[in-house]
A and B are shown apart, each in its own frame.
Chain A
């Protein structure tokens, strides 16, 4: 980077807010998806909105692409730096600015850790509902970028349901306020567009969240089945009975083994484990839980356990939430996928995954958010064996194609990022993607904000649809057409 620009950036954030030594930059060369790595020119750690604006203005003037980063726990490469770009880390903007219990609102800076929001309001029996498995380390800003979900979004909804207002630094450095503390502020729901846009529309610097009153009781049931088809049938019957559980999770035998090896949650050793959580008023939950128990047994559950204490409940969840990391116990390397299917397609998709696994000799462990059809197949491989990594990658993409063939999606909560952008044109038609790009052009005409992510084909704003013009990113070999 030009020394003059470097100095200017340093003068904005101070020497302690700038990372530029190669050793330190390594920390930022990837996010939770570690098989993609790019070294940024520099990492900037602003401490307030004004500094973010000043940095972005310099980037805009000098045409330097930038990538915003929260805790870097994302699993699709959304916070992967771009070549010749800078990373703007929001980690130091981590203050909870306002807690308004009577209106059930909390206003935070983007670097605040997800679980810390709940931590702050817990004494008053409130919680922040979106609970990605990484909630003890992931940031609200990252959650906003990815529209993070979690096990409980079946009942409570995703991040987008719980964000009411945003302060955003646009890619030209200007500041806008989208949404607000009250509902339905006049104008387009640009807040709804921004949430889940994976850092491609600007940088959120302040977030107004909705918090939820803790229900009177929470009950968690574990049911052991011979296989995932039986467990899946039980889920269908629970939904058909008109229940909306707080969470319904499923694990197959390989996932159970891994969880058991890692955190010993004392799961039954079975082919399909179902975890059903109901919450609400005691009388309601207890009556419905009897129905769930009966439905599970009717579908062949040979063991049904109700967690008796909070400690037992926490242990049950610990096993589930540790499932990804636990794969390290049974495989040297693994790929986490995030496809979604209509829940009714589960048996057909599962049998196809099993067939592909047998055909390729690559093991697949399965963890699902079964209530909403969000699959997390974990494709296990050993990088040291020649050809296995490639075979695992192509199997994981093939699984996403299966999800699309079943009418689903390539990502339920992890985002498209770098990893799945090549799959976007399989899910959406050219006009669909083109329309999204037009929205992007309204926010970021110069394509500076996380420019190489989400879309398979970069598009210059103002470019006429249909006319091919090579984007500078293509010419530079950073981006390619699929």
Chain B
């Protein structure tokens, strides 16, 4: 236990007793048990609490909805959970300017509901929208099917405010869609897993809700065929919003495509799609197809691993072949949902000892073809396995950035690449 009594008193003085509690077992982060949970009322309180922990040498884990807290490596230390639960306001929906300013703890579904009142959306389909927060989605760089058309959060965020461990509250970007003044720190903190600063608010550009939408699905006999279909669609003048492959070990691959347009536009797109795919049977399907990514997370056990993979679209078939080989030789059961962007979510099921070899083999193969594999969730026994893999020759520079913004290694120590 830490000698934390004076720290606790000081923290209580800043936050008020109601905003500080002793952590319980459910606050554990990948097997590491914190001592306190702070729920500041506003970003000034949050920055003050962070700064106080930094001074005291207390390791801090910022937390939103906690839905993706086990992604990446376990923290080396996690003594204070800094929760954004009370920073949940939508500060300004400038609907006529298609922007929104929102606090980090705002739940995505509640944000989307508000935006929808003016026929708008943040064009981003997150996992678990009813629980996930803006800050958590940004920090973990989650992205779904809409990325193909609208880009990732990095492309939608236009401004950010972060609290640094020394207590600085710093903003960059702004409230307008087009802005090149100063460094693009919104991108720096997107996907940084809370290792550089705690995001307290963000500004996004918005898109109109579609007038109408239709999803179609088709299957292919082989991995090569499904890749050909995906590449042909990508090389066509179809204006689809999303395109994904679903594949389960032992089954033929299926694919889903989403069109969002006017009614006239939809009819034309459908007929062009059918023409393009020739003999493949194209069927109208429900929008539930787009929940497939989240479906991979249902009923996980201690024999389940989930990973995010990155690959080039021309390596789809090869990568599916690699998965099939793993399934055959290592007795690994697998399921994947792979977007046409080359970002996929993969579920592996096997004895933990088998999983280690399988994931390492797959990562080596992906890396040799310009790809990557990030472990998101894994069995308890495998917590020491590096989640990230090779982060290339940029690691020393990343450490230098970390050293500038969090020199005492207060935030999420050890969670990121290269032991950051």
Residue positions of A touching B, CB distance < 8 A: 100-104, 125, 146-147, 149, 153, 157-158, 160-161, 170, 175-178, 180-190, 192-193, 195-197, 213-216, 236, 239-240, 242-244, 280-284, 286-288, 340-344, 369, 372-374, 407-416, 420, 424, 427-429, 431-436, 438-443, 454, 465
Contact = CB atoms under 8 A, between A and B. Distances in A.
A61 to B, nearest CB: 19
A407 to B, nearest CB: 5
B192 interface: yes
Contacts of A440: 183
B178 A153 contact: yes
B95 to A, nearest CB: 8
Contact of B170 (A125, A161, A431, A443): A431
B191 interface: yes
B182 interface: yes
Interface string B236-251: 1111000000000000
A432 B397 contact: no
B394 interface: yes
Nearest to B159: A409
Interface stretch (B6-14, B26-34, B296-304, B398-406): B398-406
27 contacts: A125-B237, A158-B178, A184-B343, A185-B392, A187-B388, A187-B395, A188-B192, A188-B196, A193-B183, A193-B185, A193-B187, A215-B239, A216-B239, A240-B96, A242-B208, A283-B262, A340-B174, A373-B176, A373-B177, A408-B174, A408-B179, A412-B179, A427-B181, A435-B172, A438-B405, A442-B397, A442-B403
Given A182-B371, A415-B180, A436-B185, 5 more contacts: A182-B312, A188-B191, A213-B234, A281-B272, A342-B97
Nearest to B193: A188
Given A147-B180, A415-B180, A434 B391 contact: no
A369 to B, nearest CB: 7
Contacts of A442: 397, 400-401, 403-404
A437 B100 CA distance: 27
B190 interface: yes
Contact of B178 (A149, A213, A236): A149
A236 B403 CA distance: 45
Contacts of A188: 188, 191-192, 196, 394, 398, 401
Interface in B371-420: 371-372, 374, 388-395, 397-398, 400-401, 403-405, 416-418
Contacts of A193: 183-185, 187-188
B226 to A, nearest CB: 14
Contacts of A146: 180
Given A102-B235, A176-B397, A215-B239, A189 B154 contact: yes
Contact of A182 (B184, B196, B208, B310): B310
B208 A243 contact: yes
A465 B181 CA distance: 22
B232 to A, nearest CB: 10
A98 B5 CA distance: 61
Nearest to A412: B178
Contacts of A341: 176
Contact of B168 (A125, A287, A431): A431
B187 A160 contact: yes
A173 to B, nearest CB: 13
Interface centre among B188, B236, B342 (most CB of A within 10 A): B188
Given A182-B372, A193-B184, A431-B169, A369 B178 contact: yes
Contacts of A369: 178
B268 A283 contact: yes
Contact of B310 (A103, A184, A236, A424): A184
B207 interface: yes
Nearest to B195: A188
B165 to A, nearest CB: 12
B38 to A, nearest CB: 22
Contacts of A239: 96, 98, 208
Interface in B66-122: 94, 96-99, 119
B261 interface: yes
A414 B175 CA distance: 18
A341 B185 CA distance: 20
B313 A103 contact: yes
A409 B176 contact: yes
Nearest to A343: B97
A101 to B, nearest CB: 7
A439 to B, nearest CB: 6
A412 B235 CA distance: 32
Contacts of B269: 281, 284
Nearest to A202: B397
B388 A432 contact: no
A456 to B, nearest CB: 11
A103 B404 contact: no
B389 A186 contact: yes
Given A239-B98, A408-B176, A435 B262 contact: no
A435 B185 contact: yes
A236 B97 CA distance: 8
Contacts of A102: 231, 235, 313-314
Which 5 interchain pairs have the tightest Cβ spacing? A192-B187, A284-B265, A242-B208, A435-B170, A283-B268
A143 to B, nearest CB: 11
B211 to A, nearest CB: 6
A376 to B, nearest CB: 12
Given A242-B208, A344-B97, A428 B182 contact: yes
Nearest to A440: B183
Contacts of A147: 180, 184
Contacts of B308: 184
A186 to B, nearest CB: 4
A287 B310 CA distance: 38
Contact of B154 (A192, A196, A284, A439): A192
Contacts of B185: 193, 435-436, 439
A182 B171 contact: no
B99 A196 contact: no
B264 interface: yes
A424 B97 CA distance: 23
A439 B404 contact: yes
Nearest to A284: B265
Contact of B188 (A189, A284, A288, A372): A189
A146 B178 CA distance: 12
A442 B402 CA distance: 8
Given A280-B265, A344-B97, A428 B172 contact: yes
Contacts of A411: 179-181
Contact of A184 (B119, B155, B170, B191): B191
Given A161-B155, A342-B175, A183 B265 contact: no
A434 to B, nearest CB: 7
A472 to B, nearest CB: 21
B51 interface: no
Contacts of A244: 207-208
A184 B141 contact: yes
A155 B341 CA distance: 18
A281 B239 CA distance: 7
A358 to B, nearest CB: 27
A439 B183 contact: yes
B352 interface: no
A344 B96 contact: yes
B262 A182 contact: no
Contacts of B337: none
A282 B265 CA distance: 8
Contacts of B207: 244
A416 B310 CA distance: 35
Contact of B394 (A184, A190, A427, A441): A190
A420 B180 CA distance: 12
A471 to B, nearest CB: 18
Contacts of A158: 178, 180
B241 to A, nearest CB: 12
